């Protein structure tokens, strides 16, 4: 019941928190088989929330065992299908508790449940798949020994900018791997069998995400993606899009980058930085990448929508400021800033609306209809703010003279992306 309720709350918050969530491949999760969902881990604890909101099927999650140490967090974790897994640094006594967790995992798998595991073992904000930990192979093999036809489903999730609200999220689920296909290799040479499994799983996970092979290419990847987003703006709607259009575009560039040699990368880097420097000089670097109306239509929207946007801002100012202050203070690392903001949104805004309902009931119950439109005013504020940042850029870009446009076009023509 708690899981179902929180899924509704989180789904609502996500519509405001992220600009767009693209998803595909959920049909690849077997409905009548025991399943491990193997996902990369770039976003703190926000990825399982996103995936659980998209899927109608309840998931179970393997999480750090030390989080279960105290109530009421322990009760909350149990109610949301979390399963504790202890690490060596948690102590030998705690490691013994993993036997109980493994038995529970097998029990859920026997009921054809889906167990999500973040196989990298920790979270890092990077478009790069780190080496996978061996715990998944052990659990999958143990389940097979119990007579279960276990499948491992590779998942890739990519954030355009993980640490920020109003970024884009792409998630794609690949075709499952059947553990039975690796049993002969396990029994012949266990270590080699595990390596083969993890190699195949890693390749399938990377096929579903934007990722570079070399961490030194992060900046070059971001510069290239920035240009592609500017040149391929996307519509604001739908907020949840069963598509992989943008993922395909961005992944195509990351794959191209991975295939380049160092000389080609240096050349691309120089070209991209030259183009960026020229745009910065003429003040035409975009702040947002949106498919918008033409200039006149946007101007009219901004004029007509100014008052509703202001109301949306003022109406949500108090919980918004509280949430920002708490997130800045509570986030131990930058990577946790957005997840803590999201949790705050899930707490402060429902509480705020509950208080308003009580106040309106005492003043005049007829005023409750106002609360029906205020969430939409809040969403409109975000959209309006993005339009407000886009239109000056479009205006400045349209005012470039022919020589300036020719210079930009000449540099752009040398960039092979």
Neighbouring CB atoms inside 10 A of 239's CB total 13
Cα–Cα distance between 352 and 325 in angstroms, integer?
16
Mean pLDDT score of the chain: 91
Task: Show the CA angle centred on residue 327, arms to residues 324 and 330, nearest 5°.
Answer: 150
Identify the helix (H) or strand (E) that includes residue 152.
strand 151-159
pLDDT: which is higher, 153 or 134: 153
- Are residues 177 and 151 in contact, defined by beta-carbon separation less than 8 angstroms? yes
pLDDT digit string (tens) for 50-76? 999 999 899 999 998 888 888 888 899
> What does the pLDDT average to over 248-259?
97
Neighbouring CB atoms inside 10 A of 329's CB total 8
Residue 299: which residues within 8 A CB-CB, separation 6 or more?
391
Q: What is the pLDDT of residue 290?
A: 66
Q: What is the pLDDT of residue 20?
A: 92
> What does the pLDDT average to over 121-125?
85
Positive/negative CA dihedral, 362, 363, 368, 371: negative
pLDDT digit string (tens) for 274-326? 999 999 999 999 877 666 566 677 788 889 999 999 999 999 999 999 999 99
Give me the DSSP letters along 212-245.
-SSGGGHHHHHHHHHHHHHHS-B-S--SEE---H
Residue 377 has pLDDT above 80, yes or no: yes
Cα–Cα distance between 240 and 349 in angstroms, integer?
21
CA distances, 242 to each of 24, 38, 54, 237, 341 (Å) = 6, 20, 10, 11, 25
Pairing of strands 177-178, 151-159: antiparallel
> What does the pLDDT average to over 196-221?
96
Percent of residues, the chain, with pLDDT higher than 90: 66
CA distances, 246 to each of 159, 160, 375 (Å) = 11, 10, 28
Residue 93 has pLDDT above 80, yes or no: no
Domains present along the chain, CATH in parentheses: 2-216 (3.40.1130.10), 295-399 (no CATH)
Residue 113: which residues within 8 A CB-CB, separation 6 or more?
34, 35, 58, 60
- Are residues 229 and 289 in contact, defined by beta-carbon separation less than 8 angstroms? yes
Cα–Cα distance between 124 and 108 in angstroms, integer?
29
Residue 117 has pLDDT above 90, yes or no: yes
- Are residues 84 and 68 in contact, defined by beta-carbon separation less than 8 angstroms? yes
Q: What is the pLDDT of residue 98?
A: 85
pLDDT digit string (tens) for 8-33? 999 999 989 999 999 999 999 999 99
Residue 329 has pLDDT above 70, yes or no: yes
Cα–Cα distance between 220 and 218 in angstroms, integer?
6
Confidence band for 364, pLDDT divided at 50, 70 and 90: confident
The pTM of this model reads 0.92
Q: What is the pLDDT of residue 164?
A: 84
Cα–Cα distance between 143 and 62 in angstroms, integer?
15
Packing angle, helices 2-17 and 369-398, rounded to 10: 30
pLDDT: which is higher, 72 or 37: 37
Cα–Cα distance between 262 and 267 in angstroms, integer?
9
Q: What is the pLDDT of residue 40?
A: 95
Q: What is the pLDDT of residue 236?
A: 77
Task: Show the CA angle centred on residue 414, arms to residues 408 and 417, nearest 5°.
Answer: 100
Task: Show the CA angle centred on residue 170, arms to residues 261 and 343, nearest 5°.
Answer: 125
Cα–Cα distance between 336 and 177 in angstroms, integer?
31
Cα–Cα distance between 259 and 271 in angstroms, integer?
18
Task: To the nearest 10°, report the CA torsion of 140, 142, 145, 150.
Answer: -20
Q: For the chain, give the number of residues.
A: 417
pLDDT digit string (tens) for 156-201? 999 998 888 889 999 999 999 999 999 999 989 988 999 999 999 9
Nearest to 341 by CA among 16, 3, 7, 8: 16
> What does the pLDDT average to over 220-244?
90
Residue 94 has pLDDT above 90, yes or no: no
């Amino acid at each position: 019941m708690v899981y179902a309720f929180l899924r509704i709350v989180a789904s609502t918050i996500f519509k405001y928190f992220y600009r767009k969530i693209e998803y595909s491949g959920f049909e690849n999760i077997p409905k009548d088989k025991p399943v491990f969902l193997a996902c990369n881990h770039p976003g703190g604890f926000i990825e399982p929330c996103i995936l659980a909101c998209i899927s109608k099927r309840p998931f179970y999650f393997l999480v750090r065992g030390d989080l279960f140490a105290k109530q009421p967090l322990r009760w909350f974790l149990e109610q949301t299908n979390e399963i504790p897994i202890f690490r060596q640094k948690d102590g030998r006594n705690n490691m013994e508790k993993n036997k109980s967790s493994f038995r529970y995992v097998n029990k859920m798998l026997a009921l054809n449940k889906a167990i999500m595991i973040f196989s990298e073992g920790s979270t890092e904000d990077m478009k790069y798949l780190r080496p996978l930990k061996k715990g998944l192979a052990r659990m999958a093999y143990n389940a097979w020994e119990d007579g279960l036809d276990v499948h491992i489903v590779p998942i890739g999730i990519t954030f355009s900018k993980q640490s920020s609200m109003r970024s884009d999220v792409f998630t794609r689920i690949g075709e499952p791997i059947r553990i039975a296909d690796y049993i002969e290799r396990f029994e012949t040479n266990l270590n080699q069998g595990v390596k083969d499994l993890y190699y195949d799983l890693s390749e399938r996970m990377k096929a579903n995400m934007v990722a570079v092979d070399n961490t030194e290419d992060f900046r070059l990847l971001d510069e290239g993606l920035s240009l592609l987003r500017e040149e391929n703006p996307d519509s604001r709607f739908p907020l949840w899009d069963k598509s992989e259009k943008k993922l395909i575009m961005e992944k195509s560039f990351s794959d191209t980058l991975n295939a380049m040699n160092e000389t080609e990368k240096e050349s691309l880097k120089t070209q991209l930085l030259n183009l960026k420097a020229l745009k910065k000089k003429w003040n035409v670097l975009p702040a947002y990448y949106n498919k918008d109306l033409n200039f006149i239509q946007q101007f009219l929207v901004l004029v007509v929508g100014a008052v509703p946007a202001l109301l949306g801002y003022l109406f949500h100012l108090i919980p918004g400021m509280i949430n920002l202050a708490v997130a800045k203070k509570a986030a131990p690392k930058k990577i946790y800033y957005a997840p803590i903001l999201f949790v705050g949104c899930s707490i402060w805004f429902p509480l705020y609306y509950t208080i308003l309902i009580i106040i309106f009931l005492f003043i005049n119950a007829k005023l409750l209809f106002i609360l029906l439109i205020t969430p939409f005013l809040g969403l409109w504020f975000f959209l309006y703010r993005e339009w407000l940042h886009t239109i000056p850029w479009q205006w400045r870009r349209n005012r470039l003279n022919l020589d300036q446009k020719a210079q930009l076009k000449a540099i752009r023509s040398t960039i092979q992306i």
